[in-house]
């Protein structure tokens, strides 16, 4: 079975690599839109239009499922894409507000995300649904994706995250952009062993497995 993974830049490659480990029976192919990244500062309409254009090779390849390995693209485009292509299963990424809020003992979490994700209606809804009574700190990560995309991951400034953890006793950090998966180890080292750092690769694999198993059963 063929699985497609889309991201605006190299973040999706981290997700694809993890999917290949967890779903060895699947053939995982990728597509990106590096000429137009980062998506994080664009409008929802523009993100939808760019995403739709960029996934055409995955649709043409007959992918049974397409992972939008981009929180910004998921927030702006996944629902209209499901309408546009009802025969394709789309799996999106969402900031892990629900699991972070559930495991936080101090009831303070840090969400590292692009400006577009933080502005999105879906993100605001996730906070309303799952973060009642939880303090959500959103440090400025505006330049992170571009810094990582241009192979300067070691130059990402983590000071705002470290200060949030220390000042507010946050005990969970959510990496809400696939580019940030590349610096998970850096973040873990910076915030220390008592802070949990969450990213959704394993949850994505589980959802892909469920969708493809259901499709195979129907077939």
Catalytic residue IDs: 70, 177
Beta strands per DSSP E along 12-167: 27-32, 65-68, 89-92, 108-112, 135-137
CA angle in degrees (0–180, nearest 5) for 152-19-81: 90
Distance CA 95, CA 103 (A): 15
- CA separation for the pair 208, 36 (Å, rounded): 27
How many other C-beta atoms are found inside a 10 Å radius of the C-beta of residue 207?
Answer: 16
């Amino acid at each position: 079975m063929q699985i497609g993974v889309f991201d605006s830049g190299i973040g999706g490659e981290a997700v694809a690599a993890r999917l290949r480990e967890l779903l060895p029976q699947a053939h995982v192919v990728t597509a990106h839109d590096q000429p137009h990244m980062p998506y994080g500062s664009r409008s929802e309409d523009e993100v939808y239009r760019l995403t739709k254009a960029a996934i055409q090779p995955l649709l043409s390849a007959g992918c049974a499922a397409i992972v939008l390995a981009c929180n910004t693209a998921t927030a702006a485009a996944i629902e209209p894409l499901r309408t546009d292509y009802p025969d394709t299963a789309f799996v999106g990424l969402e900031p892990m507000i629900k699991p972070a809020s559930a495991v936080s003992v101090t009831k303070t979490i840090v969400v590292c995300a692009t400006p577009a994700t933080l502005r999105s209606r879906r993100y605001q809804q996730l906070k309303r649904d799952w973060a009642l009574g939880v303090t959500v700190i959103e440090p400025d990560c505006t330049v992170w994706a571009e810094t990582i995309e241009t192979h300067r991951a070691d130059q990402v400034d983590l000071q705002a995250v470290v200060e949030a953890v220390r000042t507010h006793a946050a005990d969970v950090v959510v990496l809400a952009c696939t580019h940030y998966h590349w610096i998970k180890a850096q973040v873990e080292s910076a915030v220390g062993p008592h802070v949990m750092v969450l990213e959704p690769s394993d949850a994505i694999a589980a959802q892909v497995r469920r969708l493809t198993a259901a499709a195979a059963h129907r077939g």
